[in-house]
Structure 1
């Protein structure tokens, strides 16, 4: 008789394969047996809360994946389900904005898992001026990357495009909404021929070269990060993007523009 795999079994099997583990190696890490892991994956056995905690710890699962694991097993998640506009999430965003973004002298942003811009600093607003349009909804960084206006300002688009594409491919693999944006980019031809730009002599950093409002050339890259000790799936899915100048001329230009933007914001 064939046993139908449970939602938990499918989830555990997917997690194990993502980590490149055999049933035996996972069992060894969990202090269990290959037979029991097999039974869990096929639905012939059900996990205890203790086993779920072991899996969470041994596989170093992020909060969002842990929530899915517990709920697939029929247990209440030990983590809260907070909405993006909840008081706690808004308070956390305010903290990031006032304690980090406000002190970064270059453009800086907080992005949600779909790369919608949730917070920015004064230099960040100035840097994206002309890209975001006048729509009422928050700007999306991927849509900005794929817009004609943005591409016209990128002086090394053929070298920079694979960087944007790699980020889009990575995020689209986990989010249906971004998958539709990826298909839109493919259909419009924006991703055509990107493989031709790969070469063996690629530098350590591939800067994005942006045309400055005055006609100069800005060379920038980004530092992407997340806060440690996060215990919330919504905040965990957010990324802090700090733009970094790649040469002294770009640094001087961005610092001057940022200082001017700060003065205007204070008026």
Structure 2
């Protein structure tokens, strides 16, 4: 079997972008080999997206930033879709904390969710790339492997473990997108109080009537809806509260499976 046949067999049905992430595609033999490389192209694209958003990224724009033509880039990365995949892969190269001898599974899951949220905040465009399938690239799979680590000794089957990873990832994605939007609004000049709703407390109390909003009315009047009485808050922020309830649910499910 030739080298190219072995590479083709390893790549299987992977997209070109995924195969590139694994190093399964040979670099072009023609073109500006010394000046261009896949890591440099991806790094430049990520930099543009971080500063100007995903809509600013195109093969022409990246090529121009590097001083080459788009055709030069296509020799390395065949399509914009492949470039987006490689950009996602690049920003998922996050530090994985070392495994502890006596790992606290709740603490490990908190770390995983927190790190995932931070990717959305550090790279606001990340959540704008459509989900096209399961993770298949090296860094993404390292993150999945990390998420599975605290469940190694759980009395669960592989389907249940992966379902928990999806649950935690979905929550992190939701929180990450919300916090990303808040970050961007504040950078654009919004005040933090606008998110809590404190500016609207008095107005809402006058507008919300018990006959129209029987369940919301007492919450608004208590000040909890707008964070008016933070001293009464004993549960931390909204994101932490939600995550802790998810972890409680996992703990409850584990107890059921152990019986």
Tell me whether the two structures share a fold, i.e. TM-score over 0.5. no
Which structure would you say has the larger RCO, counting Cα contacts within 8 Å and 6 or more residues apart?
1
- Between Structure 1 and Structure 2, the one with more helix by share is 2
TM-score range, shorter chain: under 0.3
TM-score by length of 1: 0.24
TM-score by length of 2: 0.24
Structure with the higher fraction of residues in strand conformation: 1
